[in-house]
Copies of this chain bind each other. A is one copy, B any other.
Amino acid sequence: MIKYPNGKIYDPETKQIQTSKAQKTRTKSKEEVSLSAANRGMDLERDINLSCDFYREKDLALIYKRPTPINVVKVDYSKGAKIINAYYEEQSTTDYNGVYKGRYLDFEAKMTKSKTSFPLNNITKHQITHLKKVILQNGIAFFIIAFSTYDKIYLLDASFVIDFYEHGERKSIPYEVIKQEGIEIKRGYYPRLYFLEAIDTQYFSK
């Protein structure tokens, strides 16, 4: 990605220069944009969602965040179907799925403040089971793992994580291992995260 002095940005994905109008519609303020990721605090979910929006608008990929499942207990129909009692449920699948170049994509995004390793205890058994089923159907399954301290984000193939989860001696994957086995996801403006590039490198370049 090339940033021009006039604020315009060259996007290698679309091979287009983004106009400042596009910038305006996609961001809340110039100040927000100019703050570095480290300064404003990493918001992995927002960055992935904005990237999905970008890829969807440009017809490069179709990826959606799955809504957090909600168990609806009571609906008040006298007020136009107002839900008055409900609870969030644990996600039994992953956060994101979609389609890219005909292939099914399925991934979970996780962030850690750790400087040394990615702890596996925030991945549920349900998610592992789900990702194994994705792989069995020849879908593309991976994790996006962010180390907020370093402001580094990696794509890590799910089969590697599953293997670690089920057979690893440690309950975490060392940062050095992720650096070696993962594909780094570069940051940009549009998209915020170049994760299609990382997907290309991992799954479409062989």
Binding site for B on A (CB under 8 A): 56, 59, 61-62, 64, 66-67, 69-70, 72, 80-88, 93, 97-106, 130, 133-134, 136-139
| Cβ contacts A to B, 28 pairs, < 8 Å | A59-B136, A61-B137, A62-B133, A62-B134, A62-B136, A62-B139, A64-B93, A67-B67, A70-B72, A70-B83, A80-B87, A81-B87, A82-B85, A82-B86, A83-B86, A83-B87, A84-B84, A84-B85, A97-B97, A99-B104, A99-B138, A100-B137, A101-B137, A102-B137, A102-B139, A104-B104, A104-B105, A104-B139
Q: Are A98 and B88 in contact (CB under 8 A)?
A: no
Q: Are B133 and A59 in contact (CB under 8 A)?
A: yes
Q: Within the oligomer, what is the number of copies of this chain?
A: 2
Contacts A70-B83, A83-B85, A86-B70 given; does A101 touch B133 at CB 8 Å: no
